[in-house]
Chains A and B, each alone.
Chain A
Amino acid sequence: MESSSLKLSVVIPVYLGDSSIELLCDKLVQILPVIESDYEIILVNDASPDHSWQKIKSLCQNNKRIKGINLSRNFGQHPAISAGLKYAFGEKIIIMDCDFQDSPEDLPELWEKSQEGFDIVMARRIQRKESICRRFISWSFHQILSLKTGKKIDPAIANYAIYDRKVIEEYYAQHNNRAFSVLNLKQNYSFATVDVQQRISERGKSGYTLSKLFSLAFTLLFPGKINFSKTIYVIQKTINIVLEDYGVRLIPLTAEKIEMLRQWRNDPDISRYMIFREYITPEMQEKWFEERCNQDNYYFIIHYEGKDVGLCDIKNIRYEEKTAEGGIFIYEKLYLNSDIAIRASLCALDFGDKVLDLTSGTARILRSNKRAIEYNKMLGYMLLPGQENEENQLYALMQENYYKQRKYLINLLE
């Protein structure tokens, strides 16, 4: 979970959604501004075998409020929800299905209820429009859950709900990276339900077959730990994943910003500290962007007080070895040698640690750049043996050193 800055996030796991997802987003874009204009929509493709991901990418490109996450294989609905929650910034978070069984038209009523101060507001489906067979499967499913958990599970309640951010944060504080399951929530939250008309799925049938329901029951009862590094492929050019923590925003580098970045990099005050110090032409910059902006390299524009102030990156990621190279520079003079770089570094390093599951990192620093050396040492980097006389020295950051330094830095920055 990233720190909160938006009022509302909508997290939607997507499976077999290529016929519904565009229409659903159209509806949401009409309805959400009515209840809260400061919102985001997070679509999590659960390795859907149809064209869901292509549709999501297109939606992301056309609407900055829409984020897409692509899971590398089909993990199931609840791990998909968890992946979305990981990137949700909202103070209130809505979870809903992608196939119109959860209707966006019910959102205003759910929202209104949540504004009465309830931590959780769940949609209670009435008049389930399902076959007898399916109703039996569903009933059995909920009976098993009730028996196993010792809690009375109302089968009319599904995923569709609005959660206060604290509910989700406390869940993950308690359950680490385990898939989000409403059954494992603490009991002391204020809770309300709103009766909604259950719609038939856009596909005419649920994506959850009998075997999937039992699999879902297993996930709900024994939520497994999610290894995000293996589950999430983030495509920066199309996904607007914004990291926000420690008071700064890290916004993925997009094609619109590469000319600005090129000008920064060509400024002698910046280039003199770089290993590559030649003048960068627009063509070189475009080629670099094409080659480098992929799932192995994350480049973020550091955004602070409404301004683009610098760049930080996690690049050359080697997922198998759980390591990557980090870098940062601040361009805006006002923020040079201030706390902003530290805030951005912590934000990026936490992303590497928590989301990419990296356990170590490296940094290349010019031997003459004493300020950068001291800066990186402050973050926990150490010069590797045999690097003392190198012009471009290689430093390494181990996870335990970072944790130690991070604790100290957070204490000073907060």
Chain B
Amino acid sequence: MIEMINEGKFGPSEAIILLAVSNIARVFLPYPRFLMELGGPAAWMAPVGGLVIALVGVYVMSLVLKNKPDKTIIEITEDAFGPVAGTAANLVTISFFLSVSMTFTREFSEALIVSALPETPISVISLTYLAVGILGAYLGIEAMARAARLTAPYVFGGIAVLLISLSPQWNIHNLFPLFGNGLYQVFGLGSFSTAALTEIILAAVLVQAMGGPDKFGMIGYKSMSIAFLLLSGLLAAIVLTLGRDYAMESTLPFYSVSRNIYLGIFFQRVEALFVIIWSIIGGIKIALTLYGAAVSLARTLKLPDYRPLIWPLGLIIFITSLLPPDMPSAVKLDSDFLRPFAMLPNYLLPLLIVAVYWLKRRSGRAGS
């Protein structure tokens, strides 16, 4: 039944780019401001600790997936916890994907209003993002992976241009005091916050399309390394350019730094390029999480196809994305709800599955 869901296949390079692009989406939102508040000028170090946690998460997830090489995390969860608890755990994963999609739809829409389209109704921008998301999810993960691979030079090239163009304005003293608000804030709270991501559980849902659990570890390690190092680099660029205080105040620090590019009379006012980059990444992120939710639900409900679920789930995302009354509420929802929530499917769920399998093996040995 499950095998009837045709996800398509794509290579490791597409998978790495797809997951890395999805991971860095948060840097374009108010999230860097939150990290600045947490870590001060050392906010750029927080992703280094976050990377270590994420790599451990990928390792644990790869152990889980290797237990059942022909299945995804959805079936494995059900297998480990049984039909009732397993379905409940899968619903947690599905609601996580929906929450990410909802929050990012709202935050990307708000970001576009604040930066470029102040007079456009939010519903129109949200619908446009969702249209991209629905189209991507409908075409499938293979199409999304190839689209991500095609846009990668533009995205990563754009980021490289940004860093190079800003370098004349960097003030190395902005990085000091070196450990910012303190080791606990930077490597404790900051690292756990950056480690709260979507891509480990997403990769575990997509594992069969990515080539199976054998490739999961390699893809996970590489995509996490690329994404976290980029995140760290961009945070460092924000601190170097804006300084701690302004970076902490700015609603969209990435947009603020891109507005600061000033290489003489000829090269300035290039932030529109970066609005396009973040719109591409926003579309990919929303499409990916919508796809993850639809495929996970289809697998949980043992449906032969996920596509009929895209429309109702898209509608749910659209409506819930408009529920926060204002932008600060949406940002607070991200930092206070979504970040802790991300720990459940990405880290706690695989650990629980490992524990359950271990207990089952132990009780099996005791029984024999």
Asked if A and B are interacting partners, one says: no
- Which residues of A are interface residues toward B (Cβ below 8 A)? none
- Which residues of B are interface residues toward A (Cβ below 8 A)? none
